[in-house]
Structure 1
């Protein structure tokens, strides 16, 4: 089975762009994948076009070998743009393999290890009484793992004051724990906005056991900074959504710096790389907590991965109800939540239908992540 064509489709879907990739073969079987590098879709599209030049004509079934060639084929290995493109192509190749053999992708990965995929949800309210009320509402709906993202622009539009933010966030999650009781897992995502001292100050403001996980409190490029933070708090960390390879994950897993591995299958290298990272995490008794902020192809691929690994905590879901109309139009049978879980797919490949005509009719619209500035005007992370 030879690859005959690879096409990338960067297109706007409601609130931002998504980047889809289609791989075609000489047996008439095509697969779909998705890239996760939000805000840089045109760069990924160019990388897909480059990789296509040596992938066309190759055997689509040699997925692992093709991964190695895509990653190591240039003198400069890896990097987020490269692995985002590899991710989309790799997911599409696994989709093809499943369709060719008439089985769902998770069956190719060893089969389902659970009956459904447990998920966590994020409150749509930033802080205060509205956040507490929303969390209680979610608990009453059956959610047993809820994440907060408090402290958004508390000093004004586009302004992020870390000290004010951590004070508001600490008070909010303490109140949330009191309102939710002890039977709900509670976490918070800081989107790597803090410095180690600020993150430590946040952790030290609350009683032990308030939070079940602290997600991305600081930037992840320097493991030593996380080692320093770990020495100042015993709070469990959820880290990894920005990582682009197993080598990025390695020091965090081996040193116990991440307690939940936030694998993003559309950034880290697709199924081929994600399953290796999950196995590394399993060897260190670490559960994965997949990052899934993208479109339905990402969601479906993540569901297959989550089904096939033994060490899953919860899979992320988008709580905002955005893109419903666009996603329903582009993906007629996109995965739907059943209360707080996803069902295990049974159709061949990813099991996701793509309306190619609608995809081709779509258009790209330039979009950048929101900007955040400290009160003194200096730039900080979104």
Structure 2
């Protein structure tokens, strides 16, 4: 069996673009993968086309060797754009291999550790009474873990952290009082704070208010996270933007964080994700995968989540209080994972267990999108 074509498709699906990749073979088998570098899809397509130049004609079953060749085939190895391309191709190769062997992908990863995948959901209302009502609705629907809203996250132009952290902290305290001690609560600051601001936020709440804080500061400097670690006892959830095991290295080895927000569509696919998971298990760090993309990413992440021992929750954006409209369109994806209450069932068919209507995908239109370019009130650029 040989690879005959690698076809990238960037298309608007519902409220966001998806970059799907189809790898075809000479015996009719094909696999689907997905890239996670939202907003820079054209750059990833360029990288995929570079890789296709030497992957066509190769054996798709040699997944590990092809991963190494993609990673090491240029002097400037690694990086988020290249790894987003590697991720999509790697996932598609697992889909092909599972189909060729007649087994679900999780069997290629060592088999199941669990029979279903628990998820965490996210409230969509701004911090306040409606947010707490949404959280109560999620609890009634079966969720045992969730992220609460943060103030100012809906801003499109101006963001001043100090104007929002006190309000967010106040409503986190109120949510804990209203929801009780058994529910797992966290917040995601999306890199918007610096060390002092993040410490101030954490210190405004009684110990035990939050079970995790996600991405409070940028990740380039592990020492900055170590500094913040000394100022708070809230567990850290970090890593959705990491593009290799080497980026995870200092966080795992220095015991900086407690949850890995690994994204299989950014880190280098399932091949690299399994290495990060094993390394994390040795340091008692749980996997809490990032999953805001489309059904191909969800399916791949479900197989990963089934196979690893050290798993906490999978992100879902399809809860009753926050639906990413149309992103898992049933017409475009006639076979796909579907949330059942607060859990996903693990696909049992060969490969990823997903089907894509390629004719409809070819008709879908790509719409260029930029993340908000936020500024502080003084005009300086800040993080989205």
TM-score (norm: length of structure 1): 0.98
Q: 1:63-142 residue pairs with structure 2 within 5 A?
A: 63-142=63-142
Distance 1:272 1:179, change over 3 A: same
Corresponding residue for 2:33? 33
Corresponding residue for 2:151? 151
- For 1:157 and 1:131, locate their aligned partners in 2 and report how far apart those are by CA, in whole Å: 20
- For 2:324 and 2:201, locate their aligned partners in 1 and report how far apart those are by CA, in whole Å: 31
Q: Alpha-carbon deviation of 1:325?
A: 7.1
Q: Alpha-carbon deviation of 1:368?
A: 0.7
- For 1:40 and 1:149, locate their aligned partners in 2 and report how far apart those are by CA, in whole Å: 26
Contact 1:17 1:364 in 2 (8 A): yes
- For 1:244 and 1:157, locate their aligned partners in 2 and report how far apart those are by CA, in whole Å: 27
- For 2:30 and 2:240, locate their aligned partners in 1 and report how far apart those are by CA, in whole Å: 28
- For 2:116 and 2:314, locate their aligned partners in 1 and report how far apart those are by CA, in whole Å: 11
Corresponding residue for 2:285? 286
Q: 1:199-210 residue pairs with structure 2 within 5 A?
A: 199-210=198-209
Q: 1:302-381 residue pairs with structure 2 within 5 A?
A: 302-318=301-317, 319=319, 320-324=322-326, 327-381=329-383
**1:35-56 CA-partner distances (Å, limit 9, x unpaired):** 0000001111111011000000
Matched position secondary structure for 2:130: helix
Contact 1:327 1:334 in 2 (8 A): no
**1:312-355 CA-partner distances (Å, limit 9, x unpaired):** 00000014222337621210122111111000111000000110
The alignment of Structure 1 onto Structure 2 pairs a total of residues equal to 381
Matched position secondary structure for 2:193: coil
Q: Alpha-carbon deviation of 1:136?
A: 1.2
Contact 1:239 1:258 in 2 (8 A): yes
- For 2:323 and 2:257, locate their aligned partners in 1 and report how far apart those are by CA, in whole Å: 30
Corresponding residue for 2:223? 224
Matched position secondary structure for 2:330: helix
Q: Alpha-carbon deviation of 1:149?
A: 3.0
Matched position secondary structure for 2:199: helix
- For 1:197 and 1:230, locate their aligned partners in 2 and report how far apart those are by CA, in whole Å: 12
Distance 1:325 1:41, change over 3 A: closer
**1:34-86 CA-partner distances (Å, limit 9, x unpaired):** 00000001111111011000000111111000000101110001000000000
- For 1:157 and 1:359, locate their aligned partners in 2 and report how far apart those are by CA, in whole Å: 30
- For 2:129 and 2:263, locate their aligned partners in 1 and report how far apart those are by CA, in whole Å: 32
The answer for unaligned runs of 5 or more in structure 1 is none
- For 1:325 and 1:219, locate their aligned partners in 2 and report how far apart those are by CA, in whole Å: 28
- For 1:34 and 1:325, locate their aligned partners in 2 and report how far apart those are by CA, in whole Å: 13
Moved more, 260-269 or 134-143: 134-143
TM-score (norm: length of structure 2): 0.97
- For 1:316 and 1:120, locate their aligned partners in 2 and report how far apart those are by CA, in whole Å: 5
Corresponding residue for 1:162? 161
Matched position secondary structure for 2:331: helix
Distance 1:323 1:329, change over 3 A: farther
Contact 1:295 1:327 in 2 (8 A): no
- For 2:229 and 2:153, locate their aligned partners in 1 and report how far apart those are by CA, in whole Å: 27
**1:105-146 CA-partner distances (Å, limit 9, x unpaired):** 001111111010010000011211111111111111111101
Contact 1:22 1:32 in 2 (8 A): yes
Q: Is 1:263 matched up with 2:265?
A: no
Q: Is 1:183 matched up with 2:189?
A: no
Matched position secondary structure for 1:139: helix
